[in-house]
Amino acid sequence: MRRRFKNGCRKFVDFWIGEWIVRLFGYNGGTVIVLRSAFITVWVIFCAIGLIAWIDPMRPGPWSWYGFREQLVNVGPWIGAVFGGVYVALYARFASQWSYLASVYNQIKQVESEGPVNYRAFNEWRAGYIEDALELHLALKPNVAPIVKAWAGVAEVKDAFCANTPGGEARLKALLKAVDAAWSNEEQRRSKESGSGREI
């Protein structure tokens, strides 16, 4: 019962903060942040209008389009403030996650280039990078997907991921399928841009 309640709460909150938009696109990024900010702004403004209409003693009577439009004009200055605040919060979170993932990658490559490596620990580290990329919704980004594909192709990394990640084998299989699709889409996009004479 408690687990069902927690899962229900998580799904409810995830919907209203726009997590479904991240899942729709497959990875986090600038477009997703703008769309999530717009979605959150819309429902916050609608809730504010409804609350004002409910508690304002100067607004008796039934709901009307005229009254709604009037309230929308009144709360107009809030729209930019709400959108800006949500955008900054989401972008700061994304930038922090992206910085963390890039730092982990750079550390892995540094260790790899410096000399003798404990390959068991090294492959577990690379498996951890894949898991982090998956959890942070960054695994399908065009510059991360090739890394995930390459490292997950190493048997020891795959084994470490499956052994240390909940639902590892099924999640890795689904991830690699999504990575292949994302990589194919990116190649098609670049091919179209190249064919139309645009620089890549």
- Domain tally for the chain? 2
- Kindly report whether the global pTM for this prediction surpasses the value 0.75: yes
How does pLDDT run across 15-53, given as a tens digit for each residue? 988 999 998 888 898 899 999 999 999 999 888 888 887
Domain presence at residue 93: no
Same domain for 120 and 170, yes or no, is yes
- DSSP-derived secondary structure letter, 116: -
Which helix (H) or strand (E) segment holds residue 186: the answer is helix 168-195
How does pLDDT run across 57-98, given as a tens digit for each residue? 676 666 667 777 777 787 888 898 999 999 999 999 999 999
- The whole domain housing 159 covers 116-194
How far is 130 from 146, CA to CA, in rounded Å?
A: 11
Same domain for 39 and 83, yes or no, is yes
Same domain for 184 and 128, yes or no, is yes
Same domain for 2 and 83, yes or no, is yes
